[in-house]
Chain A
């Protein structure tokens, strides 16, 4: 297994504020699924921003696929992010005015690499989207034509997963994607997500405060332990 993400001596602070993140060392292997427990105030959002290349660390190094993000320009970081990372957020992941199918294909319009990979594997973007949707249990053809806004939350999260996975990015970052789902759907969703990540060869970085899910992952970490600058959770 090779290293997908490597953080070394990473520090980050918003201008004029005390340091929010101080991570001496962190690694994620290719194909690994990692549960990162992050209560609010632990610097979770900031860390995901750094991994996505939206923000730049104050010090230290963020490596994704051997590439040091801190040496890239903002535009190149954006480019790099979409080529190699898929995102799933808590909820409201989709553009409600586009169809389900179009939502899934979105990343291919901004990343030539992912579009190309989707075509290589499935023949076309549309076919890739359909294949993913059907693997995630949204196979009915009529469903793909519907506007994303009318789906249930559970269906929306699965569409979001399909979108994160299209074009086989090396990394899928999921930020509390199950918090809006009920307990039964939650595990079913996770199992589908694992299966698809495995099929695409993607690593999964799963951030949540729901410790109950941790046992399903290859590895589990707490951001509070990882981050030396973490303040006690503000409740």
Chain B
């Protein structure tokens, strides 16, 4: 203990270098923990992009593909689901609710989703949070649209604006549904999920847009049906893209999944969103690993900085060592003194790193939650994080042995006198 006290006193004598060393270690420890925390939370938030949904049903393809287009609005469906398949599913006694999803159109790069009221009621994300409207109301009329938060913000739309949707999903070259403009009636609150980047219209609206289309091209001349004329028609869709299902009992999930996969009417596929999300996340695992490894190297850099600082101090401290030897310090005392010094630096670094992390989280928590949908909790370090911090301290102890060994040799050679 006395040696530790001596080490601290000696460090305070070199407080500027010591401060910089501690700062370097603190920043690197903070970075490591921040990366770790964001990583964990990103994974958790990714896994909760959609929650409460038991099965996602689409045309038979790959499970990741189905998840990508139905939940993340990335890519396209290979095929559609017939409307009667959807009604059969919705009426299945095991099914509590069903959300039909119809995709294919876009507006200035943002996807348009055709759905019904069930979406606002049953679509959950995060920790089972329902969608909330920050302004307006859900769509009622055929030509109403509800915007995701990011769409409204990026394109500066407000309630009552009229917008024209485009056919297809690329940003340019699109044939526009210019004859049937939509009115913004609602804007959703931010969720940090793909919902923010989506325009929601009713299935009937989706159908009305395409009612006069033939073979993937708009009708010309005679065949044209105006917006008002379309209202008179039966706008029940013939096909949709995917269905989200909530079941009465989770136990029924696998049974229903099998039943859907074996459905005779058309080739369908049902997936468990959680499983597919895991699969998708594992694809991104490499980037996440890389980030983690980079931050480990940053920690290593911080520790090497400490090593350099202690090693360069050794020469000017030969006298200090000789004095300690003359008052009775054994060479192993000198060794322990330097290890204690390294440990003290690393400990101070780790503690300030933690403090830095909590300050950063406290400041960034709200904006990060709003813009990236990441909830960074202000909670005690997890067991894993403690392990990382412990690892830093152990690494510092091991590295401290290098200057300690040099000082040990030096003090043996110098004895009680220093020839300077």
- Give per-residue flags for A186-199: 1 if the beta carbon is below 8 A from chain B beta carbons, else 0: 00000000000000
Contacts of B333 in A (CB 8 A): 110
Among the stretches A64-72, A86-94, A215-223, the one at the interface with B is A86-94
Distance A83 CA – B13 CA, assembled complex (angstroms): 29
Contacts of B304 in A (CB 8 A): none
Known A-B contacts A97-B10, A97-B13; A81 and B417 likewise in contact (beta carbons under 8 Å) = no
Q: Is B406 an interface residue (CB 8 A)?
A: no
Q: Is B163 an interface residue (CB 8 A)?
A: no
Contacts of B10 in A (CB 8 A): 95, 97
- B326 CB to nearest chain A CB (Å): 4
Are A175 and B327 in touch, CB under 8 angstroms? no
Are B416 and A92 in touch, CB under 8 angstroms? no
Name the contact of A87 in the complex, choosing from B9, B12, B13, B416 (C-beta under 8 A). B416
Name the contact of B327 in the complex, choosing from A54, A97, A106 (C-beta under 8 A). A106
Are A75 and B330 in touch, CB under 8 angstroms? yes
Contacts of B320 in A (CB 8 A): 95
- B56 CB to nearest chain A CB (Å): 68
Contacts of A109 in B (CB 8 A): 2, 328
Q: Is A136 an interface residue (CB 8 A)?
A: no
Among B392-420, those with CB < 8 Å from A are 415-417
Distance A93 CA – B320 CA, assembled complex (angstroms): 9
Contacts of A48 in B (CB 8 A): 416-417
- Give per-residue flags for A174-189: 1 if the beta carbon is below 8 A from chain B beta carbons, else 0: 0100000000000000
Q: Is A8 an interface residue (CB 8 A)?
A: no
Distance A93 CA – B326 CA, assembled complex (angstroms): 9
Contacts of B416 in A (CB 8 A): 48-49, 52, 54, 87, 89
Question: Which bracket fits the contact residues of B?
Answer: 20 to 34
Are A79 and B319 in touch, CB under 8 angstroms? no
Are A98 and B328 in touch, CB under 8 angstroms? no
Nearest-CB residue, chain A, relative to B332: A75
Name the contact of A98 in the complex, choosing from B9, B319, B417 (C-beta under 8 A). B9
- Give per-residue flags for B308-333: 1 if the beta carbon is below 8 A from chain A beta carbons, else 0: 00000000000110011111111101
Are B415 and A82 in touch, CB under 8 angstroms? no
Among A71-126, those with CB < 8 Å from B are 74-75, 78-79, 81-83, 87, 89, 92-98, 102, 106-107, 109-111
Are A92 and B417 in touch, CB under 8 angstroms? no
Distance A107 CA – B415 CA, assembled complex (angstroms): 16
Are A110 and B329 in touch, CB under 8 angstroms? yes
Distance A87 CA – B319 CA, assembled complex (angstroms): 14
Contacts of B327 in A (CB 8 A): 82, 87, 106-107, 110, 163
Contacts of A89 in B (CB 8 A): 326, 416-417
Distance A98 CA – B319 CA, assembled complex (angstroms): 14
Contacts of B9 in A (CB 8 A): 95, 97-98, 102
Known A-B contacts A49-B415, A95-B320; A79 and B13 likewise in contact (beta carbons under 8 Å) = no
A-B contact sample (13 more), CB < 8 A, given A54-B325, A55-B415, A82-B328? A52-B326, A74-B331, A78-B328, A78-B330, A89-B326, A92-B319, A93-B323, A95-B9, A95-B320, A98-B9, A102-B9, A109-B2, A110-B330
List 13 contacting pairs A-B, 8 Å CB cutoff, sorted by A.
A48-B416, A49-B415, A54-B416, A75-B330, A79-B328, A87-B326, A89-B416, A92-B323, A95-B320, A97-B9, A109-B2, A110-B333, A175-B417
